[in-house]
Chains A and B, each alone.
Chain A
Amino acid sequence: MTGAPTTSDRPAGPGAPEAPAPAGPAGSGRLARALVYVAGRLTTAAVSLAAVVAAGFFLFRILPGDPVRAMTEGREVSAEQREELRRQFGLDRSPAEQFLDYAAGLLRLDLGTSFQYREPVAELILDRLGPTLLLAGTGTVVAAALGLFLGARAGWRPGGRGDRVNTAVALFFWSVPTFWLGLLLIVVLASGRGFVPDLFPTGGMVDPDATGPWEVALSTARHMVLPVATMVAVIYAQYLMIMRSSLMDEKGADYLTTARAKGLRDSLVRRRHAVPNALLPTVTLVFLNLGQVVSGVILVETVFSWPGLGQLFYSGLRVPDLGLVQGLFVVFAASVILMNLLADLVYPLLDPRVRP
């Protein structure tokens, strides 16, 4: 993650818009410029998406291995049975035909059928979207809040003891392998080998025999603690670092001198004046992360057996279940593109300095 701005007038974040058009007459001219800007962004997003669909289709077809062979491996099947599977998956037709079929399906919002689950990909994804959003959403919100809060403190007194400790701890967790950290938490807090036996469950999202909404909610909350903790520990550093550097940029600004001159307490100067401005570049980062939220929890989901999209993608890659990985690829890519687009559209509203 890069994107720490180096100048205070223009954030150079990944979602930073291009240079504004030359200023024309105010009023209708501004509206026209805004419309041109929005239209440009929408076009870019649409073109990216089309490219992703085509690339994804052919990319997964050059994966080594043969889905039918992989699915029937170790099973006692005859040549006829394999032929029949090939026919069902449409693998007996030319790649061009398959692609046209696939593209036509996408226009009808039909993502095709999974080979191994024999279910429409869209249904499989919808089934798993909820759990992933719940886990990743909670993790992102907590990590962002924690990272921004600590980052603001660290950046206010760079080089101080608090800064050094905070940064060191964050970077330590940032570099810890997710998998290892998750398993460690399971061993210490779930398997009964830690201080408190069976404090948390070892995996899954909800107890199979939980009944009623209240019990289900409680059970889910209990199952969420460890995966969310793992996710937060690993990603909060990026929020901390970006907040820290953008606050350091704001520190020397004239308006802070003014605020101090008014006799405001130091912490008020930080909270009311410096932080709001420093938050702007981090907004882009949050949006970009939201795009990755859907796909970025694969490891956490795997360690904690969380029934989400990450788990699904992993099971599809092994076959390769072309129908499924293609569909997931499109959904992941589309969510990143969509969030980028949102960041582009929202940013000018937040930061007057970059309005077209």
Chain B
Amino acid sequence: MSILPARRPSPHPADGARPRRAPVGAPARRAAATGAALLLLAGTGPAPAAADGAGADTMTIAVSQQVDSFNPFTAQLAVTTNILRHVYDSLVTVDPESNEPAPALAEEWESSDDGLTWTFHLRDDVAFTDGEPLTADDVVWTFTTIMENEAAAIASGNYVAGFESVTAEDDHTVVVRLDEPQATMTSLDVPIVPRHVWEPVLEEEGDAFAEYSNEVFPLVGSGPFVLTEHERGRHITLEANPDHWRGAPGLDRVVLRYYSEKDAAVEALRSGEVSFVYELTDAQATSLEGTDDIAVNIAEGKRFQAFTINPGAETQDGEAFGDGHPALSDLTLRQAIVMAIDNEEIVDKAHNGQAVAAGGYIPPRYEDFHWSPEGAEATLAFDPGAANAMLDEAGYERGEDGVRVSPEGDRLSLRLHAHVDRPDNVQAALVMVERLADIGIEVENNTVDPGVLSDALHEGEYDLIFTGWTVNPDPDYVFSIHTCGALPVEPGTMQGDAYFCDEEYDELYEAQLAEYDRGARVELVHELQEVLYTEAVVNVLAYPNILEAYRTDHVTGLQVQPDPGGNIWGQDGYWAWWSAEPAAPGEAAASSGPSTGVLWAVGGGAALLVLVGALVLVVRRATAGDRE
């Protein structure tokens, strides 16, 4: 192969030339092309060993998702946004116990009477890891850059969409002026970066800023950990920041090791090579339960699993497109479909009981925003008899084959699209086919690749389709995708996932966004969920639990979120890693370091035996003629 990346400035700088990137890793890595992997590995120095020897007080996490970029302005994947949360502080974080906004860089904040001006008062004891103090200037520069530079808005542009200006009143006071009131101001998940590091980068990179990967280790941040190393596809290393204003983390180091196969990662947890695995399947969690030195953590889900019914896909101008079944625009039919499905059965059969049967749109882990239809509100509770009666009354007569026909004469044969890569969807689809047959609806089950499903959704060529969202502590976004403004401008550009558009809903949505009183906002959010529930376009089935496991002989004291019953990986904040302590100082990661000489000898000895055997054979053959 003679394909070499252009590493010097290209001789054709005019068009299409790639500007130079910051160098990544040691120059020796460039020698990889020769395939001399051993030599090249030797050339990349590993992380500096801790004072008391390698592997001291380390927590090793098995990850599979690759890094897109460590540039906080562009990083989008879960693994990188999670890591960056530990590297850069944000203004406000999320309380580990209550899931409510909690002080971080900002000690306190207030809004003006008209709701258009927010003032954040920063702590005065925060420094970046290079010793420079973190001031209002850094905050202003971070927000302004996202507002003014499109390439810098890729990750967090939605947070600043309603900002008019961000200014510094003094070194520790930041003032944000808004176009419209927005209640989400206390949940701005935006990493604050050091201006003195990033301003030169932005100038130098110019148009190529989106491709800047920020792999200049150790990264200068203000968070509880410092990112010190990244070997793509192998591992990522974070070292503790002993000077963090919240207090030094209990661990010396967090290492994320790559395991592309979750089953292999589970085996690595058994052998002690890793301390923590997350996103387990039910079967994996069950197999780990009761194992010595391993704790399985079952947490309340952040996700909801739902299916949506095509109410008739339309653009914002009301132009219909797609080929959804015409009868589905009838509310009665949609409600009957929901009443025919038993969410408890979905939990048992599709999630093996590792989920909570759904009520409203927001999972119960967010206690105050969660709404569940109770008593008289539960108009769509599982009741196939009532569903059949409703359809009979509305003129959906059963044909000879038991399948109903709409009053307009359309046979009720519906397509269902499920993600082939989500086992719970595949199982839930099978349950739904059976239950809908009970009320005279025939379902054609399409279990397809996520890409196929996404195309069907955005072209409006579906009847019933699976969806799901991870809900953040502030629920604004998952509601915004069902406003009329989220409808596509032209087919294929929809922001949401359901072609839902309802005037009453939109009014409630605007009201909750402008409501700064949490109690009043909670009420509005409940009403929003009631509208969604009654309209039966977006129908939530279950909230799957989060399953993870860790070695109790490596780490202890991991703060879950929410507490109790919360998760460890993927928190809103850095509580788990920051609070973790080594289980037995100095011994925690003994097993993840190079093993004892015995094991080396066994591994090497096997190879040696093969070599010696081969040699003997060759010698024997060479002299065979003489021995005759």
Contact = CB atoms under 8 A, between A and B. Distances in A.
A320 interface: yes
Interface string B17-53: 0100100100001101111111111100111010000
A225 B470 CA distance: 40
Interface stretch (A4-12, A117-125, A248-256, A348-356): A117-125
A302 to B, nearest CB: 5
Interface in A111-166: 111, 113, 116-120, 122-131, 133-134, 137
B261 A101 contact: no
Interface string A300-341: 011111011001101100001000000000010011000000
A129 B32 contact: yes
A127 B32 contact: yes
Given A66-B455, A117-B68, A203 B470 contact: no
Contact of A109 (B6, B24, B233): B6
B3 A122 contact: yes
A126 B5 contact: yes
Interface stretch (B92-100, B393-401, B525-533, B594-602): B594-602
A71 interface: yes
A301 B260 CA distance: 8
B47 A208 contact: yes
Given A129-B35, A201-B273, A202-B271, A221 B603 contact: yes
A273 interface: no
Contacts of A315: 66
Given A123-B5, A267-B624, A104 B603 contact: no
A222 B34 contact: no
Interface size class of A (residues with CB under 8 A): 35 or more
A209 B54 contact: yes
Nearest to B451: A65
Interface stretch (A48-56, A168-176, A189-197, A281-289): A189-197
B232 A307 contact: yes
Given A78-B157, A202-B271, A216-B42, A210 B594 contact: yes
A183 interface: yes
A220 B38 contact: yes
Interface stretch (B122-130, B148-156, B193-201, B219-227): B148-156
B588 to A, nearest CB: 13
Given A101-B16, A129-B1, A311-B233, A210 B264 contact: no
B40 A88 contact: no
A258 interface: no
A169 B364 CA distance: 55
A126 B157 contact: no
A219 interface: yes
A200 interface: yes
A81 B158 contact: yes
B211 A130 contact: no
Interface string B263-300: 11101101111000000000000000000000000000
Contacts of A260: none
Nearest to A229: B606
Interface in B237-267: 237, 255, 257-261, 263-265, 267
Contacts of B24: 123
A198 B595 CA distance: 9
Contacts of A71: 76
B451 A134 contact: no
A32 interface: no
B151 A88 contact: yes
Contact of A117 (B38, B69, B452): B69
Contacts of A222: 599-600, 603-604
Contact of B267 (A88, A108, A190): A190
Interface in A264-295: 265, 267-268, 271
Contacts of A271: 621
A69 interface: yes
B472 interface: yes
Contacts of B154: 81, 84-85
Contacts of B76: 71-72, 75
A339 to B, nearest CB: 11
A256 to B, nearest CB: 17
A187 B267 contact: yes
A314 B40 contact: no
Nearest to A223: B603
Nearest to B67: A117
In the complex, which of the residues A63, A187, A202, A305 has the most CB atoms of chain B within 10 Å of its own CB atom? A202
B469 interface: yes
A195 to B, nearest CB: 12
Contacts of B213: 118-119
B606 A225 contact: yes
B36 to A, nearest CB: 7
A192 B16 contact: no
B520 interface: no
Nearest to A120: B5
Interface size class of B (residues with CB under 8 A): 35 or more
A113 B16 CA distance: 11
Interface in A84-103: 84-85, 88, 101
Interface string A220-262: 1110010000000000000000000000000000000000000
A305 B210 contact: no
Given A81-B158, A191-B271, A202-B264, A130 B600 contact: no
A217 B603 CA distance: 12
B615 interface: no
A105 interface: yes
Contacts of A186: 263-264, 267
A302 B157 contact: no
A208 B257 contact: yes
Contact of B38 (A125, A129, A217): A217
A105 B16 contact: yes
Contacts of B1: 129, 331, 334-335
Contacts of A76: 158, 472, 477
B211 A119 contact: yes
Contacts of B45: 211
A221 B607 contact: yes
Contacts of A196: 602
A19 interface: no
Nearest to A179: B261
B38 A216 contact: yes
A58 to B, nearest CB: 16
A307 B234 contact: yes
A208 B47 CA distance: 8
Contacts of B378: none
Contacts of B545: none
Contacts of A21: none
Contact of B49 (A120, A201, A209): A209
B270 A191 contact: yes
Interface string B435-467: 000000000000001111011001000000000
B235 interface: yes
Given A131-B37, A209-B47, A217 B42 contact: yes
A70 B273 contact: no
27 contacts: A65-B449, A66-B458, A109-B3, A110-B5, A113-B211, A117-B67, A118-B213, A119-B213, A125-B3, A126-B32, A129-B1, A130-B33, A183-B261, A183-B263, A191-B270, A192-B272, A204-B235, A204-B259, A205-B41, A209-B594, A213-B39, A216-B38, A218-B594, A218-B604, A303-B260, A331-B1, A331-B3
Given A117-B69, A183-B267, 4 more contacts: A74-B469, A84-B157, A122-B3, A216-B42
Closest 10 A/B residue pairs (Cβ): A65-B451, A213-B42, A307-B233, A191-B267, A64-B451, A130-B37, A133-B35, A122-B5, A202-B268, A130-B32
Interface of B: 1-6, 10, 12, 16, 18, 21, 24, 29-30, 32-42, 45-47, 49, 54-55, 66-69, 71, 74, 76-77, 150-151, 153-154, 157-158, 161, 210-211, 213, 231-235, 237, 255, 257-261, 263-265, 267-268, 270-273, 449-452, 454-455, 458, 469-470, 472, 477, 493, 495, 591-595, 599-600, 602-604, 606-607, 621, 624-625, 628
